[in-house]
Amino acid sequence: MPPPRRAALGLLPLLLLLLLPPAPEAANKPTPCQRCRGLVDKFNQGMVDTAKKNFGGGNTAWEEKTLSKYEFSEIRLLEILEGLCESSDFECNQMLEAQEEHLEAWWLQLKNEYPDLFEWFCVKTLKVCCLPGTYGPDCLECQGGSQRPCSGNGHCNGDGSRQGDGSCRCHAGYQGPLCAECMDGYFSSLRNETHSFCTACDESCKTCSGPTNRDCSECEVGWVLEEDACVDVDECAAETPPCSAAQFCKNVNGSYTCEDVDECSLAEKACVRKNENCYNTPGSYVCVCPDGFEEAEDACVPPAEAEVTEEESPTQPPAHEDL
């Protein structure tokens, strides 16, 4: 008895859902630190937007007198909080609802003591972020120190978050645990106790001590040392050409390319019969009569001419029977 097909088909959608990659929204979901920083950024922008406002009224002298009171007032705080989150931003509103008391406490009591809202709110209070140059659950210093992580030549893994291991991911041209060493193809153009700069060698150098082809310590592949300088090898001029007879060799700095010869575009026609079409193919070409034309030894004959030719051609005389 064959197995029931409906049950197997019923499981198929479930299997497909399990195999599908996570939705982009889930993959790009902000971290707690990013959400906290976003809220702080909006709060700071709200402070900028309300900086020149006051309680209102038509009496300018009164407004100037009470402006300092408005600056630290609950009314101004309320205006800032009301503009923090869009109504459709669920996560922002959820976080604001959960942390509104913290923000009020900072505004009314702690603002002077802790002027940096991000440090007080996200780093010290909620403990979801670290200060720049530090990483991980305990906000340890990145490799190379918090002032210039990775010697300023790389990115500290987990920098500013409660994640990562503090290791360095070096920028192009740099290597080493602190990103202070130059990779092959780069040379040290400046180095002191605090800074290290690497600059690209000339394209002819694999390793070098300066920027020109005369500063090469070792030539790159496709280049040779001549008169204390790395010069390009013209492979196309070699005794034995690197390309086939149906290709032409094109020298490129440090290398070469073999490109197909288009016989159909040459000055000397490749297809010599009248009306014949030439089609280029890799390493060769083909000669073909157009559709409707008939093949002849020295031409492609149009249909009308072919009929006339057949009509005008002499017929063979009938064979005579032996008497």
Question: Tell me: the pLDDT tens digits for 170-211?
Answer: 999 999 999 999 999 999 999 888 889 999 999 999 999 999
Q: So what's the pLDDT on residue 4?
A: 45
**Comparing C-alpha atoms, which of 158, 161, 190, 160 is closest to residue 174?**
190
Helix (H, G, I), strand (E, B) or coil at 218: strand
| Beta strand spans in 31-138 (E) | 134-135
Per-residue pLDDT tens for 291-311?
999 988 889 998 876 555 555
* Range 41-61 average pLDDT: 77
CB 166, CB 136: distance < 8 Å: yes
Neighbours of 70 (CB within 10 A): 16
- Amino acid, single-letter form, for residue 163: Q
d(CA 280, CA 80): 71
**Comparing C-alpha atoms, which of 89, 114, 103, 112 is closest to residue 40?**
103
31 or 8, greater pLDDT: 31
d(CA 219, CA 232): 10
d(CA 13, CA 6): 12
For the entire predicted model, the pTM comes to 0.62
Q: What is the DSSP letter of 301?
A: E
Question: What domains appear along the chain, each with residue ranges and CATH number?
Answer: 32-125 (no CATH), 134-226 (no CATH), 266-301 (2.10.25)
Q: So what's the pLDDT on residue 33?
A: 94
